[in-house]
Structure 1
Amino acid sequence: MTDTPARLLNLLSLLQTPREWPGSELAERLRVSPRTVRRDIDRLRDLGYPVEATRGAVGGYRLVAGAAMPPLLLDDEEAVAIAVGLRAGAGHAIEGVEEAAVRALAKLEQVLPSRLRHRVATLQNATIPLTRGDGATVAPSTLTTLAATVTAHERLRFGYRAGDGTETKRQVEPYRLVSTGHRWYLVAYDLAREDWRTFRVDRVADPFPTGARFTPRELPTGDAAQLLGHSVTRTQEHDVDVTFEAPAEFVTARLPGHLVPTPTGPGTCRLRARSADSVEWLGLRLALADCEFTVHGPEALVSYVTDLGARLTRSVALPPTPPQA
């Protein structure tokens, strides 16, 4: 094999297998001399790949952990598995995944061959995830588009649906994607409104990069997460207070991750939390806890749950009363 770049890639692919490779076996696989293998190992080290050599009759070469993360080579199956995993995590805003996962997904999908992109989409569509989120899932393609425009400092157009259902067209300078653990938000400068705005990504439709570059503006607060916090604070927050006739671990498994009840007895628990979620969403999530519960506050949530219970009761068609004998 005389093509040095291709040979280096093949050598790297072999070394990424978690085992030790004798120099003679590498030379045989690559169809070169042991001396060429040694030179190629030195080239990989110069590129930042930490290749360790051991001496002796059973000695050889292996790739070890280094001080920095070098580029990796993935085969088809590995690339599909990683893309599907990143899509699942990013689409449900799993806490801890956040923007780094979306950037990784954007980079991976940019270079995926079309045949692998089709396999990823097929697997994604055939899988039904069981999550503890609020159901406000996000299309991975939307996240990767937003992440790409954030990285490239490229203006973005999209449709947006507000909480009251109003639909508008927006053109923004995207600054950051922020995950709160159960939702994704885009922090951006709205060009029409000449002010900073935060957008729930699950309400973003048809994002379109315009190709126009911009110089990022200075945030009015310290960072994007802080700006998002101020924005959420401006919305109506609720001091939620609910008791459950079930153990805390049972209820916790049925509520979103940001709503965690505290045990109050062997078979009871109580949830006290400040939430910016709507009372409609909170009421539905409480109903899905699948146990008896009592809402102590706020009043708006008490009223909504009362009305919801009445509507559900009225929706049940009672059997006709048999005639009296």
Structure 2
Amino acid sequence: MAKPIARVLTLLELLQSGGTRTVSELAGRLDVDERTVRRYVQHLLDLDVPVESVRGRYGGYRLAPGHRMPPLMLSDDEALAVLLGLAAGERAGLTSAGVAGETAAAKIRRVLPERLGRGLDAVLDSLTFTAPAGRPAASGTSARAGADTPPGRPAGAVLLPLADAVRNHRPVSIRYTSADGRRSERTLHPHGLVAHAGRWYVTGTDPAIGADRTFRLDRVVAARTLPGSFVPPTGPDPADRVLSALATAPYRHEVSLRIHGTAERIRPHLPADLARLTELGPPDEEGGEPPWFRAELRVERLDWLPAVLAALDLPFVIERPAELRGLLAALAGRLALSAAEPDPNSRQNGAC
């Protein structure tokens, strides 16, 4: 797009954001002189855009009050952000479901180029969420990761080709930067895109090793569709594959616990991306006793686990590591000290 045309469109966007904009402000935002701003305003007037000139100390330009502008042009990333925001908001119960969301999405699609519209449809079709509709995803990922970096957002240049490959069962080549900074390029047969706890993942099969792999999309530098096709696998859906991959990822500490309770009581504290649960025996139907479960975790730090175990409010046994027992004992000591009767002679209790 030629620079003058792009700047006229930018001027239109600035005016559509509301209020009166001074000539000097617009000149600074557009990186042009004030005379050029006035020429751009005349271009908009020639296109029947109702730009009003406001005189006075705080004068400048504004759009006519109440005027309904045609839809704005959206870049790939802007359109993607809006449609994904509608989908995620409806999923989490933050926006109204049904007709309003559908009509808003339809209006956006009508003003998009056909190529981009097909790409966004592919993203929405291939995207799954780990949390049930109306509920945010429970996650211990940030706690277990310790010094992990905050999540980034995948670029449209990565998300669109991956979604197309998922929908059409086509292999892709991705360039990836791991958490320790190592860079690699590999081929992937992508099964699906998954949104989990504020992060995006792609899960698929690495044909070079014949095993499933899961990658964070904000660490994918580039994605390119390759010729050919593959047969999608049967078995767990993409969301379950991502949760399983997160629960078995290598970390500094391997933790094993035995917990006496139901999965419904355990999971809110030890979600599926954090711990693998294995039932050790059927419940005692006669006595009404719940079963024992083994919970296996891989975590970078142990200091946050004692508080989680205390919040469980269920009988449990620490199988490993021994270091966790010491941390739990230290927490129990602090809690016992806090629960003790206050010393009336202590200054900390308000004595004079």
TM-score normalised over the length of structure 2 = 0.36
TM-score normalised over the length of structure 1 = 0.39
